C-alpha cells in the first residue's frame, strides 16, 4: 500500500512539473497544462492523506516543531508583505521630496480635476521608447481623480485604432469628455491641464482689450506690452481680441470679459455708456487705472466715476511702501510688494508675492453705491501709505507720511471687486452652462503688474489670471498654476573640473590607502 501511495505521490509531482513546462514552453497546448496540473495536485493530496500518520510523527519531534515555527514565521512575514503591497496598490500615498516639487501637480490642476463630474478618457498614442515618461506624468492625474481613465496605445501595434483617431504623429494625447474631444502632442503639466480645461468648458471665452486711449497692447512684445499675458490666456481656453469702443459704439455681443488696461487718456462719454450697457446685461469688466506718471498728466475722470458707481473710490494718490520688501525683487518704495489678500474667491489660497509699479489706491465705499458693495482683494503692508503729493513724489522722489495733508496710512487697498445680480439673463451661447446672471467689476490701481516687464514677478501672472477666471465665472481656473522646472545645472570652470578630477582619482583614494597602511603598521 505504501509503495502504491509513493508512486501516486511521485506521479502527481511529475504531472505538476509537466504542466508548468507546457504553460511556459508550449503555450499553444495550454489547455492540457490546466488538466495536468489539477490531476497532479489531486495525486499529491491523495498521497498526503494516505501518509498522515507518518507526517504527524515527523511534526511531533522537537526539530520538526522548531522547523514548523520557523516556517510559520516566514509565512506570517510573507503575508504581511503581501497585505502591505495590496493596501499600497489600493490606497497609495506619494511624497514629492524634490526642491521644486517637480513631480507634484499644481493647485490649478487639482482644482480642475476635482470639478470633474463625468469620466475623463485619456488616450495616449505613445512612442515606444517614451512610454515610461507618459506613465510617470499621467499617473499623478489618475491619483488626483478617480474619474481619469488612461489608455496607452502603441500606434504601430494597433494601426486601426490610430487611423480611427486620425493620429498623425507619436505622443498624441486625446482627451474625451461628455462627447467633446481635445488633443495635444506635448507632456508638460501646463499643456495637459490646459487641454483638460478646454475639453471641460466646451467653448472658449472671449476677452476684449480696449484700445484708443494709450492702453497696453495685447499684441505688443515691448516691455509695456501684454502679449505674454495674452499667450497665457490662450493656454487657458480664452481668445483675445481688441476693440475700439469709439468706433464700434458698443461692446461686442460675444465678449466674456472687457479689459481696460491702463488708459493714458479718459474715455469719451459714449464709451462709458457702452460699458454701462454691457454691465447691465451681466457683463464683466476689469479696469486698471494707473496714477499719473507725470505732474501734468490728464485725469481719467469718467473711468473713475464709473468705478465709483460700482462702489469703489479710485484715489488721487500714489502708494509708497517703505517696508523694504521691494528689495527682495530689486525695486524701491514706489513699487509696493503685496503679501496680504483679504478673503475673496479670486485670491483663495493665494500666498504669492505680487508687485505693482507705481500704483494708486482703490478703496471700497463702506456704505456702497447703488446697492453695489465692493470688497478689497489686494492690500499693501502696514508700512505703506497713499501719498497725496503726487507732484512732489514724481519730481523729487522724497516724501514722508503726513496724514494732515491727506496721506492715508497703510495697509492700503490697491484692488477691489464687486458683483451684482442683474434682472436680464446672460446672453445664451451654444454649450453654455447657464451661469448665474451677474455683472462683475474689478478695479486695480495699476496696470503695469501684468505687463511683459513685470509679469514674471512671483504671483503677478497668477493674480491676473485668477482675476479673469473670477470675472468669467470659471472658478476652477482660480489657483496657482504649474511652474516651469528650475534649471539646477552646476556650471564649473575648467580649473574647478580639474580639481574635482584630481580629488576623485588621487586625493580620496590616497587618503584611504594611507589610512590602511597606517592601520597595518600599528598592528605590527
The tally of domains found in the chain comes to 4
Same structural domain for residues 7 and 36? yes
Same structural domain for residues 133 and 18? no
Same structural domain for residues 495 and 473? no
Same structural domain for residues 160 and 305? no
Same structural domain for residues 25 and 114? no
Domain assignment present for residue 364? The answer is yes
Same structural domain for residues 227 and 370? yes
Query: pLDDT by residue for the chain (524 residues), tens digit each?
Result: 667 777 887 888 888 888 888 777 776 666 677 788 888 888 878 877 776 676 666 666 666 666 666 667 767 777 777 776 756 665 556 666 555 555 677 777 888 888 888 899 999 998 888 888 888 888 888 888 889 999 999 998 898 998 898 888 888 999 999 888 888 888 888 788 888 888 887 777 899 999 999 999 999 999 999 999 999 898 877 899 999 999 999 999 999 999 999 999 999 999 999 999 999 999 999 999 999 877 677 789 999 999 999 999 999 999 999 888 777 777 778 899 998 899 998 888 888 899 999 999 999 999 999 899 999 999 999 999 999 888 777 777 677 888 878 889 989 999 999 999 887 555 544 444 455 688 999 999 999 999 999 998 888 999 999 999 999 888 766 655 555 555 455 666 778 888 888 888 888 888 888 888 888 888 87
pLDDT of residue 432: 46
Enumerate residues 6+ apart whose C-beta is below 8 A from 13: 40, 43, 44
Same structural domain for residues 457 and 369? yes
User: Of the candidates 134, 156, 184, which is a domain's last residue?
Assistant: 184
CATH code (residue 171): 3.40.30.10
- Order of strands across the sheet that contains 180-184: 148-153, 120-125, 172-177, 180-184
Same structural domain for residues 451 and 326? yes
Give the Cα-Cα-Cα angle 277, 280, 281 (nearest 5 degrees).
Answer: 95
Which residue's entry shows cell 487641454?
195
Same structural domain for residues 524 and 497? yes
Domain assignment present for residue 148? The answer is yes
Same structural domain for residues 299 and 242? yes
Domain assignment present for residue 100? The answer is no
> Domain of 524?
491-524
Enumerate residues 6+ apart whose C-beta is below 8 A from 399: 320, 387, 389, 392, 393
Tens-place pLDDT, residues 254-276 = 999 999 999 999 999 999 999 99
Give this prediction's pTM: 0.66
Same structural domain for residues 372 and 499? no
Residue of 431, 467, 428 lying closest to 201 (CA atoms): 431
Collapsed DSSP state (helix, strand, coil) of residue 393: helix
Domain assignment present for residue 190? The answer is no
The CA distances from residue 430 to 202, 208, 433, 489, in Å, are 9, 20, 9, 49
Domain assignment present for residue 96? The answer is no
User: Of the candidates 28, 61, 90, which is a domain's last residue?
Assistant: 90
Same structural domain for residues 470 and 498? no
Domain assignment present for residue 168? The answer is yes
CATH code (residue 448): 3.40.50.880
Amino acid at each position: 500500500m505504501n509503495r502504491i501511495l509513493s508512486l501516486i505521490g511521485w506521479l502527481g509531482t511529475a504531472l505538476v512539473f509537466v504542466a508548468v513546462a507546457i504553460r511556459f514552453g508550449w503555450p499553444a497546448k495550454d489547455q492540457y497544462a490546466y488538466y495536468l496540473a489539477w490531476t497532479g495536485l489531486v495525486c499529491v493530496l491523495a498521497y498526503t492523506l494516505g501518509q498522515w500518520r507518518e507526517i504527524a510523527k515527523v511534526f511531533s519531534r522537537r526539530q520538526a516543531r522548531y522547523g514548523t515555527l520557523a516556517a510559520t514565521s516566514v509565512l506570517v512575514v510573507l503575508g504581511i508583505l503581501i497585505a502591505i503591497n495590496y493596501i499600497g496598490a489600493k490606497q497609495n500615498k506619494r511624497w514629492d521630496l524634490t526642491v521644486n516639487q517637480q513631480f507634484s501637480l499644481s493647485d490649478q490642476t487639482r482644482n480642475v480635476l476635482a470639478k470633474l463630474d463625468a469620466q475623463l478618457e485619456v488616450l495616449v498614442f505613445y512612442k515606444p521608447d517614451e512610454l515610461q515618461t507618459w506613465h510617470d506624468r499621467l499617473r499623478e492625474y489618475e491619483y488626483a481623480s478617480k474619474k481619469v481613465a488612461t489608455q496607452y496605445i502603441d500606434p504601430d501595434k494597433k494601426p486601426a485604432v490610430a487611423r480611427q483617431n486620425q493620429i498623425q504623429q507619436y505622443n498624441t494625447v486625446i482627451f474625451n469628455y461628455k462627447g467633446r474631444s481635445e488633443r495635444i502632442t506635448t507632456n508638460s503639466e501646463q499643456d495637459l491641464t490646459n487641454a483638460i480645461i478646454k475639453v471641460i468648458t466646451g467653448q472658449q471665452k472671449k476677452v476684449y482689450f480696449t484700445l484708443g486711449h494709450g492702453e497696453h497692447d495685447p499684441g505688443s512684445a515691448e516691455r509695456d506690452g501684454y502679449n505674454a499675458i495674452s499667450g497665457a490666456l490662450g493656454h487657458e481656453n480664452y481668445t483675445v481680441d481688441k476693440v475700439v469702443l469709439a468706433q464700434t459704439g458698443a461692446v461686442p455681443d460675444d465678449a466674456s470679459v472687457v479689459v481696460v488696461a491702463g488708459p493714458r487718456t479718459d474715455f469719451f462719454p459714449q464709451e462709458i455708456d457702452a460699458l454701462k450697457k454691457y454691465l447691465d446685461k451681466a457683463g464683466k469688466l476689469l479696469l486698471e487705472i494707473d496714477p499719473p506718471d507725470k505732474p501734468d498728466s490728464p485725469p481719467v475722470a469718467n473711468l473713475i466715476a464709473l468705478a465709483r458707481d460700482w462702489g469703489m473710490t479710485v484715489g488721487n494718490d500714489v502708494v509708497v511702501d517703505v517696508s523694504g520688501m521691494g528689495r527682495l525683487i530689486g525695486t524701491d518704495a514706489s513699487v509696493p510688494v503685496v503679501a496680504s489678500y483679504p478673503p475673496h474667491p479670486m485670491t483663495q489660497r493665494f500666498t504669492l508675492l505680487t508687485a505693482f509699479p507705481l500704483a494708486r489706491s482703490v478703496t471700497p465705499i463702506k456704505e456702497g453705491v447703488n446697492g453695489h458693495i465692493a470688497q478689497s482683494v489686494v492690500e499693501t503692508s502696514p508700512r505703506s501709505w497713499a501719498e497725496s503729493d503726487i507732484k512732489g513724489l514724481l519730481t523729487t522722489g522724497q516724501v514722508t507720511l503726513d496724514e494732515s495733508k491727506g496721506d492715508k496710512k497703510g495697509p492700503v487697498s490697491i484692488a477691489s471687486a464687486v458683483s451684482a445680480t442683474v434682472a436680464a439673463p446672460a446672453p445664451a451661447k451654444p454649450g453654455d452652462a447657464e451661469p448665474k446672471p451677474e455683472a462683475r467689476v474689478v478695479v486695480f490701481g495699476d496696470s503695469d503688474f501684468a505687463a511683459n516687464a513685470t509679469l514674471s514677478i512671483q504671483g503677478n501672472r497668477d493674480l491676473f489670471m485668477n482675476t479673469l477666471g473670477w470675472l468669467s465665472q470659471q472658478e476652477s481656473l482660480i489657483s496657482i498654476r504649474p511652474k516651469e522646472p528650475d534649471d539646477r545645472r552646476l556650471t564649473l570652470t575648467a580649473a574647478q573640473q580639474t580639481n574635482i578630477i584630481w580629488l576623485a582619482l588621487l586625493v580620496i583614494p590616497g587618503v584611504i590607502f594611507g589610512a590602511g597602511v597606517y592601520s597595518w603598521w600599528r598592528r605590527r
